[in-house]
A = this chain, B = another copy of it.
Amino acid sequence: MADLERIAHVADLVAARAAKGEHLAVVVSAMAGETNKLVGYARGAAGEALISDGFDDEYDVVVSSGEQVTAGLLALALRRRGLKARSWLGWQLELRTNPSHGRARILGFEESGLPEAVDSGEIAVVAGFQGVTEDRRISTLGRGGSDTSAVAVAAALNADCCDIYTDVDGVYTTDPRIVSKARRIERISYEEMLEMASLGAKVLQTRSVELAMNHNVPVRVLSSFLPPDAPNPGTLVCSEDEILEKQVVSGVAYSRDEAKVTLFGVADRPGVSARIFSLLAAKGVNVDMIVQANARGDKQANMVFTCTDRDSQIAREALSAHQKEIEFERLEVNRDVAKVSIIGVGMKSHTGVAETMFRALYEKGINIDVISTSEIKISVLIEAAYTELAVRALHTAFDLDAA
């Protein structure tokens, strides 16, 4: 939310839906810029030691106040419109989380009175992004946690649907800034959305999609900028069964925040891979694609993996420090790469999808470096300069362009 005008707009949206007799719980995030300001304060007060030294419970006390303010203000704005409404903070909701402050995970809800209040017709204005730990300290769910809060509240209330108002009017087949013919998707399965989110489409937080899938809560992604009476169909994220017209490929995603790490001349002995990846895991490096290739015959191999740009620096330091122990000749980091992916539940039952993908890229002269696949997606690592070209080629090849 941006400011008081945005709050008034949201109050109008909510009022229009309440007028239809809907029972509503509204989950809010902080006003624009507030969270960054509060994070800045916390870092200023705590110094560098923040987070690494377990300072995070107080960090959450500071940062959670942003949503608290918005929740109170929206409740006031709704009452001004003659509606019954009240705010609910994390500790009032009894939204219990684990004690991983700053990035807590939801454990569940305790008795709070929320369902009864919503049943009675009072609009619940829930402060998103926050919960409470077993020992009654405020916790926050990490950036984007308001989506996750919304899904959790919807699940707890057995809501018909969880509508997430965002700055876009739905989920698109790909990034419309790259492909002008990108189309809004009417319906997409949880699994596809999960892949889209983890592959770089930033509409919904991965964790919120997981939670929706686990509790089978339909999630609708809508625009928060349209007037209350404008058509606003958005995109429904739901279970695969509820999607009648299944696309072979539903979307094309890309990520530029990729780096390729190559270890040359790795001793080809049992346990070497385990040593490499347990070291990386210990340093918190999230490894994505992995390829091992025998380069010179028997005794040595090259090991390739990808991770985020930032993680690649950590990986470089960690591996270099243990070069003797791991036994490799040389390490190379290539940050000039991008990952392009196609996603679709239809892949499960269709053959030739990979072939179509590779041919489309080949025809544009794009070289594929690394490939990884899952049941519903194929990702390729390519040279970063070819990102947009690849996305456009794939969008056309899989008939996703709007008429």
Chain A residues at the B interface, C-beta cutoff of 8 Å:
4, 7-8, 38, 41-42, 44-47, 49-50, 53, 55, 57-62, 65, 68-69, 71-77, 79-80, 86-87, 89, 91-92, 136, 138
Contacts and interface: CB of A to CB of B under 8 A. Distances in A.
B58 A62 contact: no
A131 to B, nearest CB: 14
Contact of A38 (B55, B57, B69): B69
Contacts of A69: 38, 41, 61-62, 65
A71 to B, nearest CB: 7
Contacts of A49: 79-80
B80 A72 contact: no
A323 to B, nearest CB: 36
A85 to B, nearest CB: 8
6 contacts: A44-B73, A46-B76, A49-B80, A57-B86, A58-B86, A61-B72
Nearest to A31: B41
Contacts of A77: 45-46
A65 to B, nearest CB: 4
A80 B45 contact: yes
A99 to B, nearest CB: 13
A45 B59 contact: no
Given A87-B58, A92-B136, A50 B65 contact: no
A47 B50 CA distance: 40
A138 B44 CA distance: 28
A45 B87 contact: no
A44 B4 contact: yes
Contact of A59 (B58, B72, B89): B72
B87 A75 contact: no
Nearest to A136: B92
> Is the contact region of chain A dominated by helix, strand, or loop, or is it mixed?
helix
Contacts of A86: 57-58
Contacts of A91: 91
A45 B4 contact: yes
A94 to B, nearest CB: 10
Given A61-B71, A62-B72, 5 more contacts: A4-B41, A4-B44, A45-B76, A45-B77, A61-B89
A53 B82 CA distance: 11
Contacts of A57: 86
Given A44-B4, A45-B7, A50 B76 contact: yes
Nearest to A50: B76
Contacts of A60: 72
A53 to B, nearest CB: 8
Contacts of A73: 41-42, 44-45, 58, 62
Contact of A46 (B46, B80, B87): B80
The 9 closest A-B pairs by CB, nearest first: A61-B72, A62-B72, A46-B76, A65-B65, A45-B73, A45-B76, A58-B75, A45-B77, A4-B44
Contacts of A72: 42, 58-62, 65
A381 to B, nearest CB: 41
Contacts of A44: 4, 73
A71 B71 CA distance: 20
Nearest to A70: B62
A68 B64 CA distance: 9
Which among A42, A45, A77, A138 has the highest number of chain B CB atoms within 10 Å? A45
Nearest to A42: B76
A193 to B, nearest CB: 33
Nearest to A74: B45
A46 B73 CA distance: 7
Nearest to A47: B80
Nearest to A127: B61
A86 B60 CA distance: 12
Nearest to A112: B136
